[in-house]
Amino acid sequence: MNNLKQDISGRSDVKILVDQFYHKVDSDDVLSPVFSHVDWNQHLPVMYDFWSSTLFGDQSYHGHPFQKHLPLQIHRNHFTRWLSLFKEAVDENFHGEKAEEVKMRAESIAGIFQYKLGLTT
């Protein structure tokens, strides 16, 4: 069945991925409290830019994502759940080289953030 899914090929696919992922986050018992303060109308376009820049180098994102996470009360279990939901959203919607790349990049970002937050063992 995976062969029926297309790969992530541009910003419109990034938008689908981000929307699906944050829909999961918003209804998740572990992550929704962390994101309860988020204005989705502002946050989602920033995430479209972030992931589009990350995957396609379009340089639409200009910011410092780690610093925005510093004031949040997040722990290892949040990163574990975040990665699980992210990969689930990718796998439900896409299949291919870019789909695998975005999952790998998400793992890398989560690892770097956890390291910088002192959450690694």
Give the Cα separation of 98 and 96 in Å (integer): 6
CB 77 within 8 A of CB 30: yes
Give the Cα separation of 27 and 86 in Å (integer): 13
pLDDT digits (tens, 9 = 90+) for 46-94: 999 999 999 999 999 888 877 776 667 888 999 999 999 999 999 999 9
Tokens of 11: 């910003």
Residue 98 CA from chain centroid, whole number: 14
CATH class of the domain comprising 7-116: mainly alpha
CB 30 within 8 A of CB 78: yes
Residue among 2, 4, 42 nearest 22 (CA): 42
pLDDT digits (tens, 9 = 90+) for 10-40: 999 999 999 999 999 999 999 999 999 889 9
Q: pTM of the prediction?
A: 0.91
**Burial degree of 111 (CB within 10 A; 0-12, 13-18, 19+):** middle
